[in-house]
Amino acid sequence: MGSDESVHLQAWHALIRARASLAGQLERELVRAEGLPLAWYEALLVLDRAPEGALRLQQLMDTVLMTKSGVSRLVDRMEVAGLVARAGCPSDRRGAFAVITEEGRARLRRAAPVHAVGIDRHLASVLDPARAAELRDALTAVADAIGGAPAAPCTASAAALTEPRMADRGHSQRN
């Protein structure tokens, strides 16, 4: 990197390069072992950790770093695979949710060890725990400083959230 670049710009370039390299390797490992693309794994992980296993599509978009149309296509493909369902929010008819299914949770459980081994192999082999903690803290500080306003909560119960919205969206059931 050129000496004309600030250390912050150099850090940005290093972050982008490391993220692309690591994501590509993890993607290959997850697809080879479980047939699960990394974006699907990340979406399932986020949904599994969300209250009631559901997130607004906007929140999912912010978390998995995709555009609105990208998340919509991702959820469409995952819905066809039976890993998520779309649901509406009774208190906000405009709100759409992605909800993890039992099959989605099962696939996540099968893929988690592959992901963990990959993280260990590709990160722990380079960063000792102290350096990993420094990296975590630095990246957390950046994310917290930039932040974003959380979406308005839905007042729906878990039962209401799990009802599919395919008919509301004008889609026919896909096989």
Q: For residue range 17-64, what is the model confidence (pLDDT) as tens digits? A: 999 999 999 999 999 999 999 999 999 999 999 988 998 888 888 887
Is the per-residue pLDDT at 3 higher than 70? Answer: no
Tens of pLDDT, residues 64-102? 777 778 888 999 999 999 999 998 877 766 778 899 999
What is the topology classification, in CATH, of domain 7-145+155-161?
Answer: Arc Repressor Mutant, subunit A (1.10.10)
Per-domain boundaries in the chain? 7-145+155-161
Tell me the chain's radius of gyration from C-alpha atoms.
18
Cα angle, residue 164 at apex, residues 74 and 31 outer, rounded to 5°: 30
